Amino acid sequence: MDPDQQPFIKIQSLSKHFGSFTAVDSVDLEIYKGELFSLLGASGCGKTTLLRMLAGFETPSSGTIHIDGVDMTDVPPYERPVNMMFQSYALFPHMSVEQNVAYGLHRDGIDKQAIKTRVEDMLAMVELTDFRKRKPHQLSGGQKQRVALARSLVKQPKVLLLDEPLAALDKRLRENTQFELMKIQDQLGVTFIVVTHDQEEAMTLSTRIAMMDAGRFIQIGTPIEIYEFPESRLVANFIGNTNMFEGRVTENGVDHIVVQSKQPACEFFIDHGISIQEGTRVWVAIRPEKFRISKSAPESGQTNQMKGVIDDIGYLGKLSIYRVRIGDDKIIQITSPNLSRPKHGESLLDWSDEIYLSWDASSVVVLTK
């Protein structure tokens, strides 16, 4: 990203209250042109309210929204250079596919021939040319989704808002559609803002993700930043699985720190340049795929390893999920790729096997909140 670039969408201390409930709590956000930006969070975190304020369906209680340098705060939805794809698709049931797509263009008073061409181009792009005379109830879920997309893109909005765009599709269709969306976004260069509660969807689609909780952003970053460098336990737990160990900092060295946890008793050596005062209470997070699993003790010494017993195995083909019991009551989850093929009728690791876990000093995330 060009560091001198001006933000395309600028949200400043934006709040929305419903009675005594605060849905969006004084948020600031800058989104750049051509981004595919995701608002991610559990239901009720305020992400939909924020999106609806961008579309103009909700009036902010305070704060401002600028799009492409123009103050949009009090502009009604029908005058914003923004279009939205609804979660329910909201296709007009009494209009054909063609009429649905053309509706927005008719409102702009464009001449009939131009509308026809634009609609045809759009339907060709979403591969629905043969279905243009159909009514929405005669379409499958995936087709409806594509009509909704075509309808919201045909006016060439500056920003496209997508509310849970893939939630209503089945898994196989979702994966294809995800890549289709990215392709279209790339072709048209429109700025996309996606609201989703599905972290996988956010990870694959987005250039940046904003994690929301209780009306505030708790972290904004690229998918890699959010996944590998979460700033809080909330983010670490929401995005993917993670194993969390509570402990205290026992050593604050120049290029490393050491964290001692009690349950299970273990020393964590972390070497990426962080500095936390000795005695501070911290949480150590390690992703399931960051563990190495072995039957014999690793040579790394006493730090960054644990001994456990396999409690459960989930074989998924390309990888296996192990639930490993450490000590009496700590269960941690590990995923390990099945790199080699076991002999027929045997498995490499079995239930109740005693195993050693180890990890790199750089794979550990230390969280203070």
Partner 1 sequence: MHNTGQRSRFLITVTCFGLAFLYIPMALLVFYSFNYSKIVPVWGGFSTRWYTKLFESEEVWSAVILSFKIATVTACFATLMGTLAGLALVRFGQFKGRTLFTGMITAPLVMPEVITGLSLLLLFITLGDLIGWPERRGFTTITIAHITFSMAYVAIIIQSRLAGMAQDLEEAAQDLGAKPFRVLIDITVPLIAPGMVAGWLLSFTLSLDDLVIASFVTGPGAVTLPILIYSRVRLGLRPDINALATIFIIVVATAAFVAWWIMLRQQKKRELEMQMSSEEG
Residues that bind partner 1 (CB under 8 A): 55-57, 76-79, 82-84, 86, 88, 90-94, 103-104, 107-108, 134-135, 137-140, 151-152, 155
Nearer to partner 1, 57 or 315 (CB): 57
Q: Are 252 and 278 in contact (CB under 8 A)?
A: yes
Nearer to partner 1, 168 or 349 (CB): 168
Task: Please report how close the Cβ of residue 215 comes to partner 1 at its closest, in angstroms.
Answer: 21
Helix (H, G, I), strand (E, B) or coil at 188: helix
Cα of first residue to Cα of last residue in the chain, in angstroms, is 30
Residue 160 tokens, joined: 């496209």
Task: Please report how close the Cβ of residue 217 comes to partner 1 at its closest, in angstroms.
Answer: 25
Please tell me the distance from the alpha carbon of residue 153 to that of residue 162, in angstroms, as a whole number: 11
Nearer to partner 1, 152 or 304 (CB): 152
Task: Please report how close the Cβ of residue 118 comes to partner 1 at its closest, in angstroms.
Answer: 13
Closest alpha carbon to 68 in 37, 30, 106: 30
CA distances for 290 relative to 287, 301, 343, angstroms: 5, 18, 26
Nearer to partner 1, 46 or 104 (CB): 104
Nearer to partner 1, 96 or 358 (CB): 96
| Strand 305-315 to 292-294 pairing | unpaired
Task: Please report how close the Cβ of residue 85 comes to partner 1 at its closest, in angstroms.
Answer: 9
Nearer to partner 1, 88 or 250 (CB): 88
Task: Please report how close the Cβ of residue 74 comes to partner 1 at its closest, in angstroms.
Answer: 15
Task: Please report how close the Cβ of residue 9 comes to partner 1 at its closest, in angstroms.
Answer: 17
Task: Please report how close the Cβ of residue 25 comes to partner 1 at its closest, in angstroms.
Answer: 22
Nearer to partner 1, 92 or 351 (CB): 92
Nearer to partner 1, 79 or 111 (CB): 79
Q: Are 199 and 227 in contact (CB under 8 A)?
A: no
Nearer to partner 1, 117 or 138 (CB): 138
Greatest alpha-carbon pair distance for the chain in Å reads 76
Show Cβ contacts of residue 18 under 8 Å, excluding neighbours closer than 6 positions: none
Task: Please report how close the Cβ of residue 76 comes to partner 1 at its closest, in angstroms.
Answer: 8
Query: By CB neighbour count within 10 A (0-12 exposed, 13-18 middle, 19+ buried), where does 149 fall?
Result: buried
Task: Please report how close the Cβ of residue 248 comes to partner 1 at its closest, in angstroms.
Answer: 51
Helical H runs in the chain? Answer: 47-55, 97-107, 112-125, 141-153, 171-188, 199-205, 223-228, 233-238
String of b and e for 309-337 (b: at least 16 CB within 10 Å)? ebeeeeeeeeebebebbbeeebebbbbbe
Closest alpha carbon to 230 in 175, 185, 277, 287: 287
CA-based torsion, 15, 18, 20, 21: positive or negative: negative
Task: Please report how close the Cβ of residue 156 comes to partner 1 at its closest, in angstroms.
Answer: 12
What single string gives the DSSP state of each residue in 73-93?
TT--GGGSSEEEE-TT----T
Nearer to partner 1, 79 or 329 (CB): 79
Please tell me the distance from the alpha carbon of residue 103 to that of residue 93, in angstroms, as a whole number: 13
